[in-house]
Amino acid sequence: MLSAESLKRIDRELAKYPADQRRSAIMAALRIAQEEKHWLSAEIIEFVANYVGIAPAAAYEVATFYNMYDLHPVGKYKLTVCTNLPCALRGGVSAAEYLQKKLGIGFGETTSDGLYTLVEGECMGACGDAPVMLVNNHKMCSFMTEEAIEKKLAELN
């Protein structure tokens, strides 16, 4: 269900913990699976849980609690814009509205070409760089003015 390389990466995560604490690797294991599959289907979550050696329900609890896990297909680029108060005070809501208009989609939607999914995010801990946007859960983008958004979209295309 996952490539040998992904399983090897999960094994490296599992090796960080004592045998009786394998469940500690579930967040990393789910992230690795999502990197390969681009989202986490119920079958993938169950496979990862079984591979790690925990109950599938425990893996579902993690996957549904944290918003970095995608339980439905997303675009090639998942753009998460922070609209919490610090970012909102420094243009986060405006940045989100600009992206919605530019991409022609709302939060939780994907462009018809499958390129972008737009998500409203919670605090990303970078208030001093507000407004911030996260690309594919990994790349933090700071000071996301309309010009910065245009530049980032051009880089992604």
Give the number of other Cβ atoms within 10 Å of residue 157's Cβ: 9
**Residue 82 assigned ligand-binding role:** yes
User: How far from the centroid of its chain's Cα atoms is residue 52's Cα?
Assistant: 21
Strands of the chain, DSSP E: 77-82, 109-110, 116-121, 133-135, 139-141
> Does 87 show up as a binding residue in the annotation?
yes
Query: Identity (one letter) of the amino acid at 22?
Result: R
Please name the residue that has the structure tokens 């109950």: 55
Enter the tokens of residue 118. 């737009």
Asked if 142 and 149 touch (Cβ cutoff 8 Å), the reply is no
Tokens (6 digits) for 53: 């050696």
Residue 141 assigned to a binding site: no
Q: Could you list the residues known to form a binding site, using ranges.
A: 82, 87, 123, 127
Q: Could you list the residues known to form a binding site for [2Fe-2S] cluster, using ranges.
A: 82, 87, 123, 127
